[in-house]
């Protein structure tokens, strides 16, 4: 199997536990950056704490009503957004993201040119966006290769399950510069 692994998988396979997860689940395809970062962040917010089916339904209604246009989102009243299925907290966050996109407070088109911590700093002022959301944005919207969200409960449980008693900081540093791939294997192994 090692002859079909790319450099990232080979790097992680130096860790015996990761080698076993790679063997069990096979090589994972690389992530691709999302072309519309604003829309991706809105979809991520809509998906939090909901089933995939419910989140997809709400996202489809919002897209139909707004075509991922922040001005069209803001043209809808908060009540209209609630009527599409958003909770009040998500109404607040989606409107704040839309305002930030329109005002230029958050330049979604150029976030990919910023270092990870600057992307996080650009997103954290938005209501409803915490470090975990910003790290997921780095991983799955910007397709950054070296992000590990220690605040993610699934990843913490994966570390406890597969690396009991090990010093976590040193372990995670050892996966660099492919920590996103390591996280994906831990999530996959926990499903």
User: Could you state, in order of their start, the residue ranges of all structural domains in the chain?
Assistant: 2-31+147-190, 37-141
168: pLDDT confidence band, cut at 50, 70 and 90? very high
Mean pLDDT across 16-27: 96
Q: Which two three-digit tokens encode residue 35?
A: 């072309």
CATH 3.40.50.20 fits 2-31+147-190, yes or no: no
CA nearest to 75, candidates 109, 67, 190? 67
Confidence of residue 3 (pLDDT cuts 50, 70, 90): low
pLDDT(1) > 60 = no
Confidence of residue 176 (pLDDT cuts 50, 70, 90): very high
Angle at CA 167, nearest 5°, toward 186 and 29? 25
pLDDT value of residue 103: 97
Q: Homologous superfamily of 37-141 in CATH?
A: Hypothetical protein; domain 2 (1.10.340.30)
| Residue pLDDT, tens place only, 68-97 | 999 999 999 999 999 999 999 999 999 999
pLDDT classification of 101: cutoffs 50, 70, 90: very high
pTM above 0.85, yes or no: yes
Looking at residue 4, its pLDDT comes to 58
Instruction: Return the residue matching tokens 């707004």.
Output: 66
């Amino acid at each position: 199997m090692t002859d079909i692994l790319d450099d990232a998988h080979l790097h992680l396979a130096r860790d015996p536990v990761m080698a076993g997860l790679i063997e069990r689940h096979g090589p994972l395809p690389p992530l691709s950056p999302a072309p519309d970062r604003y829309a991706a962040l809105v979809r991520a917010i809509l998906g939090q704490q909901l089933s995939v089916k419910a989140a997809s339904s709400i996202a489809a209604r919002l897209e139909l009503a707004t075509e991922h246009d922040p001005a069209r989102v803001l043209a809808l009243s908060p009540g209209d957004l609630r009527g599409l299925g958003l909770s009040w907290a998500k109404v607040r966050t989606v409107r704040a993201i839309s305002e930030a996109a329109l005002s230029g407070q958050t330049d979604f088109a150029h976030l990919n040119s910023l270092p990870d911590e600057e992307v996080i700093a650009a997103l954290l002022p938005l209501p409803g966006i915490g470090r975990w959301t910003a790290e997921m944005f780095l991983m799955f919207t910007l397709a950054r290769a070296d992000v590990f969200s220690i605040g993610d409960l699934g990843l913490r449980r994966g570390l406890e399950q597969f690396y009991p008693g090990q010093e976590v900081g040193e372990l995670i540093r050892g996966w660099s510069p492919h920590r996103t791939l390591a996280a994906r294997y831990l999530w996959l192994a926990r499903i």
